[in-house]
Chains A and B, each alone.
Chain A
């Protein structure tokens, strides 16, 4: 599974009710859901109900966002392995915050599977899944430049806004550059996994590719800086962000999200 940065950005330029929501609202929704999920108790069976409701809500939003299913699956496939790996090991671990363990299976080499470990592994993975879903929804429906502008409107310091603006602007330039370098290498039959050539030589080629990209990005940075100076850039310069009014639909979706979190928390269901 592979999702390139350009494919990811392409999804954000679709038209849908979710794409149309203001970036600030989407950032606040993602932060709200993530912080709430992380703050949930570590060991509580009821968490599954809460997490299930939140996940269902996010999937409904994802459905209305008209994001390609293959894109969503690919994004999950990239994001899940590390979290899945740690969650899978939980049944074999004695978590320090749990005092009584019920052993449900004894394995060779002194390994034990505990009921509490299985439960904790399942809870931590479910929480992680909800967090990843909210991030995927955000990044599939909001372009990177919109994210930076929205963050600036939410109070991101101007230095950081400048850094991110420049970074986002050139991310795709370098991504395409790396694509061209790789194509050129392929035409010369360079294959990173080829074991018929000495390892040292392969490492050197990788090193030269990285050097090339580093120098090119540095030189692009210099040129950009020079052209900015020509246009009157100074240390006190600010990134211009146009004022954008929030619509009633923006407030409505934020209210619905916060309402769902509140309802889930007070266990109306």
Chain B
């Protein structure tokens, strides 16, 4: 899942670098201050361990035994695992940055595109993996299930982000890219989920003091919601480009059965999830407006329930 050099133009690569540098700076500050002790040396040593454990290749057919996956292997990334153990997504950002930098010396991921690789595996993987785990735990879902889902998404979503980056770069078509990455990263995500649960279980038995479980409980719901909204906004921007122009099953049936009677008698505000005359931007805006409306309705309902 490491993007090599030349597959993303320099200007786009620079944008990903800027985003990553902002996050890396914050991650270093986190290691210095939020962990109370100076954990920088410890993280350096741990990054070496994570680099080495990423060399353990696991057959994809071990997870999903289908012929398509014969000969395909995957290795644990560990972004969600690191974030969950240290109770912070910044741990994942820091560790992944270092691992990716050394991997680039092996030609595993490029130099100009390292920002994009850090964004995918460290930032998206770490944040989505961790806050999915926290969010589901707050909903009283079993810890192992929450952890599995978090680790699964920490593999799947970076894969989809990579497909978008290659599409923006003009290197690979979007729909096929998303389909391929979702398939392979989805399978790898299942493996990552299982391994994360096993490793976390083993660590909590052997060294429970390493895991900051108390922080998991203290983590504010607002952060979970903020990351959730960021993910939904990402999907809102992506959806119009992924959606098919063909009618759905009901529309197709209706057009065949009611040939001349089709057509709505109501004037719709955002017909076909779009703002007329605005093209793709209108479709993105319509979905974002819809999401904001749902959010306000949800907040309203939850307040009414609370009062009741």
A: residues with CB less than 8 A from B are: 3, 8, 30-31, 34-35, 37-39, 42, 75, 78-80, 82-83, 86, 89-90, 93-97, 124, 127-128, 131-132, 135-136, 138-139, 144, 147, 157, 159-160, 162-171, 173-175, 177-178, 192-193, 199, 202-204, 206-222, 224-225, 228, 233-235
Docked-complex contact A170 and B45, CB < 8 angstroms: yes
Chain A interface mostly helix, strand, loop or mixed? helix
- Residues from chain A with a CB closer than 8 A to the CB of B58 are 192, 206
Complex-state Cα separation, A131 to B106, whole angstroms? 12
Docked-complex contact A162 and B207, CB < 8 angstroms: no
Number of A-B contacts (CB under 8 A): 227
- Residues from chain A with a CB closer than 8 A to the CB of B191 are 203
Q: How far is the CB of B35 from chain A (nearest CB, A)?
A: 11
Q: A38-B9, A135-B104 are in contact. Are A204 and B41 (CB under 8 A)?
A: no
- Residues from chain A with a CB closer than 8 A to the CB of B171 are 86, 90, 95, 124
**B194 touches which of A96, A165, A203 (Cβ 8 Å):** A203
Q: A39-B10, A214-B199 are in contact. Are A30 and B111 (CB under 8 A)?
A: yes
- Residues from chain B with a CB closer than 8 A to the CB of A216 are 49
Asked if B55 is an interface residue, CB under 8 A from chain A, the answer is: yes
A-B pairs, top 5 by smallest CB distance, nearest first, are A217-B49, A166-B44, A79-B107, A207-B198, A221-B45
Complex-state Cα separation, A144 to B48, whole angstroms? 12
Asked if B13 is an interface residue, CB under 8 A from chain A, the answer is: yes
- Residues from chain B with a CB closer than 8 A to the CB of A96 are 170
23 A-B contact pairs sorted by A residue (CB < 8 Å):
A78-B107, A128-B4, A138-B105, A139-B106, A144-B105, A162-B40, A162-B44, A163-B40, A163-B44, A164-B101, A167-B44, A168-B102, A207-B194, A208-B202, A211-B199, A213-B49, A213-B52, A214-B203, A215-B202, A217-B46, A221-B45, A225-B41, A228-B41
Tell me the residues in window 55-78 of chain B with beta carbons closer than 8 Å to chain A beta carbons.
55-56, 58-59, 62-63, 65, 76
- Residues from chain B with a CB closer than 8 A to the CB of A174 are 48-49, 51-52
**B48 touches which of A8, A135, A166, A208 (Cβ 8 Å):** A166
**A175 touches which of B4, B50, B52 (Cβ 8 Å):** B52
Q: Return the chain B residue nearest A31 by Cβ.
A: B111
- Residues from chain B with a CB closer than 8 A to the CB of A80 are 107
Q: A167-B44, A192-B58, A203-B195 are in contact. Are A34 and B111 (CB under 8 A)?
A: yes
